[in-house]
Amino acid sequence: MFTPCIFLTLFLGVVQSQFPRSCTTSSALESKTCCPLWTDDSPCGSQSGRGECRNVVVFTPLAAGRVRQYDDDRLDWPRFYYESTCKCFGNYSGYNCGQCKYGYTGDKCERQNTVIRKEIRQLSFLERKKFFSYLALAKTTKSTDYVILTTGDRHHRDTYRFVDASIYDIFAWIHYYSMKPILENGTFDASFNYAHQGPAFPGWHRLGLMFLEREIQLLTGDENFGIPYYDWRGENNCSICSNELLGESNEQGFLDDGSHFAFWKSICSGYNYADAYCQTAGDKCQMERLHRKPGSDPRVKRFPSFQDVEDTLKWKDFDRFPYDSTSRRSFRNALEGFLKPSDGLTLERSMHNAVHVYFGGTMSQVPISSNDPIFLLHHSYVDKIFEAWLQRYNATPDKYPNNDEDGQGPNECATPYFPCYRNKDFLTSCSNFGYKYSKYQEM
Ligand SMILES: *[C@@H]1O[C@H](CO)[C@@H](O)[C@H](O)[C@H]1NC(C)=O
Ligand SMILES: *[C@@H]1O[C@H](CO)[C@@H](O)[C@H](O)[C@H]1NC(C)=O
Ligand SMILES: *[C@@H]1O[C@H](CO)[C@@H](O)[C@H](O)[C@H]1NC(C)=O
């Protein structure tokens, strides 16, 4: 039933992305400049010493083992769209240097702030209530800072069309967009992407959660908000899939009417639909309620065990050649879940990937899985394992490998975020980004 949409999309060559709203004016697009005025009326707050507008530094992918001719708009992000962006100084950050670096707060970003991410079952009644109401607010509040690009032809500026989206949907879309097939010589290749199947995977998802966590902190004024995690080790079934927590599923597999997210709609319900909100593609592409069928997929009958997590952590190399889904003895590939953690050699579904499949429904279609908020809890736990590995081996950015996966080089920008965060810079403890994990079940 989804097939017609997929074909349509491949032929139209559709692109969608999220952009700073103030960088989507025709003058910004024509001049390829994304240096918005800050409140002092200077680009990037330069009058106030917050930052400056400068040419995008082009980071050449180091290993050019696979020589390719790219048409893809995301390569060398964000150069296709912008040649000048803000470079922020000191503790300032953000697409316009109007925000603080992760972990800093205050008007001059002079104060450090650390939030604790807790296991969802450790939250007090009040903390839980806050979590669900904050998410409801993020799902329904239009983002003032960002818009989504939806257009039929990525090569012609005149055809770009930008649409509003809620804060949660901007987040969901960033993930979706990173996974769209890559355009090469006029055809699309879906076999690799910018956020998965390579060394960028843990850091890319870390940034995604930090982005949403910060947006929710700003939206609610609650600087102490941290995204909870779901420690699924050894679970026999999804014990948090109750209506008090992440929601039960009904017989059709949709979230139960009595659950918090029952009436949430996915920004897109299929793999690669043509329009941001599927408004133009007719009945076939309507936005759908979230669905989930934990434990019903015969391919994955259980969550990863305590031992699986221990085994994953024993691989001391962050990643190994060929730096993709076939890498062996690679912590990253075991964590991502293409590799059996215990032997580090057998290529089989495990860990992160297995949990996506276990949940079924929206979560099992990885590109759109970010629509289901259980994605946040799952990835927060994956990030906790990443953090345990970083601490165990005292990892530093120089351990991030050169590789020729698209957009996954150490010095390339995590695609498609604004501003630029280099992939290698995530190989550092999360306390440097202003958050920590609670202890739960001895980890
Ligand atoms: C950034 O914040 C830290 C910690 O509060 C502070 O010591 C430092 O001076 C700040 N840096 C700048 C450049 O303002
Ligand atoms: C794309 O085009 C380049 C240059 O013409 C060529 O070298 C390369 O093999 C092509 N790639 C594919 C996948 O067709
Ligand atoms: C989930 O597993 C627990 C034991 O681990 C059991 O008590 C509970 O009944 C199970 N729930 C469902 C819905 O199967």
Place of tokens 């800050």: 38
Q: How far is the CA of 353 from the centre of ligand 3 (A)?
A: 23
Ranking 7-16, 67-76, 411-420 by mean pLDDT, the lowest is 7-16
The answer to whether position 17 is within a domain reads no
Helix, strand, coil % (nearest 5) of the chain?
A: 30, 15, 55
So what's the pLDDT on residue 268?
66
d(CA 274, CA 14): 6
Q: Which of 71, 185, 191 to mutate to test the pocket of ligand 2 (most atoms within 8 A of CB)?
A: 185
The answer to whether position 29 is within a domain reads no
The answer to whether position 204 is within a domain reads yes
The answer to whether position 246 is within a domain reads yes
So what's the pLDDT on residue 318?
98
Q: Does residue 90 have its Cβ closer than 6 Å to ligand 1?
A: yes
Helix (H) or strand (E) holding 10: helix 3-12
Q: Could you give the dihedral angle defined by the CA atoms of residues 187, 189, 194 and 195, in that order, rounded to the nearest 10 degrees?
A: 150
If one counts the domains in the chain, the total is 1
Mean pLDDT (whole number) for 9-32: 71
So what's the pLDDT on residue 27?
93
So what's the pLDDT on residue 160?
79
Mean pLDDT (whole number) for 124-146: 97
The share of the chain scoring above pLDDT 90, in percent, equals: 73
| pLDDT score of 17 more than 70 | no
So what's the pLDDT on residue 156?
63
| pLDDT score of 256 more than 80 | yes
d(CA 250, CA 244): 15
Q: Does residue 185 have its Cβ closer than 6 Å to ligand 2?
A: yes
The answer to whether position 19 is within a domain reads no
| pLDDT score of 442 more than 50 | yes
CATH number for the domain harbouring residue 255: 1.10.1280.10
pLDDT band for position 404 (cuts 50, 70, 90) = confident
d(CA 217, CA 178): 24
Q: Which residue has the higher pLDDT, 406 or 358?
A: 358
Which domain covers residue 210, as residue numbers? Answer: 117-437
pLDDT band for position 307 (cuts 50, 70, 90) = very high
Could you give the 3-state DSSP secondary structure of residue 5? helix
The answer to whether position 59 is within a domain reads no
Q: Which of 231, 232, 239 to mutate to test the pocket of ligand 3 (most atoms within 8 A of CB)?
A: 239
pLDDT band for position 392 (cuts 50, 70, 90) = very high
Per-residue model confidence as pLDDT tens digits over 30-69: 999 999 999 999 999 999 999 999 997 655 554 444 445 5
The share of the chain scoring above pLDDT 70, in percent, equals: 86
The answer to whether position 49 is within a domain reads no
Q: How far is the CA of 185 from the centre of ligand 2 (A)?
A: 6
- Which atom from ligand 1 is nearest to the alpha carbon of 104? 2
Q: Does residue 124 have its Cβ closer than 6 Å to ligand 2?
A: no
The answer to whether position 15 is within a domain reads no
Longest dimension (CA), the chain: 60
Which residue, by CA, sits nearest to atom 2 of ligand 1?
110
Phi, psi of 353 (to 5 degrees): -65, -40
pTM above 0.75, yes or no: yes
